Amino acid sequence: MNNQTSSHKNKNMKIVIIGGTGLIGSNLTNKLRQLGHEVVAASPSTGVNTLTGEGLAAALAGAQVVVDVANSPSFEDGPVMSFFETSGRNLLAAEVAAGVGHHIALSVVGTERLLASGYFRAKMAQEQLIKDSPIPYTIVRATQFFEFISSIAHASTNGQTVRLSSVLMQPVASEDVAAALADIALAVPINGMIEVAGPEPIRLDELVRRYLNATQDERTVETDPNAGYFGTEVNDQSLTPDVNPLLGKIYLEAWLNNSANKK
């Protein structure tokens, strides 16, 4: 995923990863450290809390780039909006004070098409705060991660049946998202949005069916056109990228094989 020009590739930088101990954040932290950059993996567990502001100024001192991959602990309408608005305002204000030159945030492909969901309304509010801030930015919207297929199946299970729509998706490995974010962190801000998606489109019911087969899970998938996606109505454009996204390299089959080998 190196199709971005960069002015920073050869300079060691201080980069702060908000949510740096999570799935994407820990992977991204490792990648950037291996390239010789000073990386702060910021999260409440490391003494940096964007909701209260604790530790923010110290973490951001001297930082050129901030990458925000933090997620709300609650997906309920009120708490998720409060999380992204409060965290976003505190973080951006601290970045202005610290003189940060590039703010990068991980968001979700299709956010503006899924506003019936409180989670996506909150992500849209986060994106708007970034656009309204004076800090140069890049918003990176990713499709659903392979790592969350299990959660999708769990949320749609009744007994031994998983009821899912056949809506089109283009899911991506978290490894590919972290690789894209590493490239973008070392590139100049675009003051716009980049989409990251997996290398192949697949329908949601088939995605989960393949996952259950690969993990020898005995649940069966039943296709239900009215099942929606986490309670939200969707169509084939809702969860798929627009033209010319950055495409990951890891195919579902390879990811499933690799995951099975790790067990």
pLDDT mean for each 10 residues of the chain (263 residues): 46 94 96 96 96 97 97 92 97 98 97 91 97 98 96 93 95 97 97 97 97 95 90 90 95 91 63
Contacts with 259 (C-beta within 8 Å, 6 or more apart), sequence order: 214, 215
Measured CA to CA, the distance from residue 217 to residue 211 in angstroms comes to 8
C-alpha 164/C-alpha 215 separation (Å) is 18
The candidate with the shortest Cα–Cα distance to 205, out of 150, 159, 153, is 153
How far apart, in whole angstroms, are the C-alpha atoms of residue 68 and residue 19? 7
pTM value is: 0.92
Q: What is the pLDDT of residue 262?
A: 67
How confident is the model at residue 231, as a pLDDT?
A: 79
Yes or no: say if 174 and 250 are a contact pair by the CB < 8 Å rule. no
pLDDT given for residue 259 in this prediction? 79
Closest alpha carbon to 164 in 229, 237, 233, 235: 229
Q: Rounded CA gap, 227 and 235, in Å?
A: 11
Task: Identify the structural domains of the chain with CATH numbers, from first to last.
Answer: 14-262 (3.40.50.720)
Helices (DSSP H) in 99-249: which residue ranges? 118-132, 149-155, 174-185, 204-214
Q: What is the chain's alpha carbon radius of gyration, rounded to the nearest angstrom?
A: 19
Q: Where are the beta strands (DSSP E) in 19-172?
A: 38-42, 65-68, 102-108, 137-142, 157-158, 161-164, 168-169
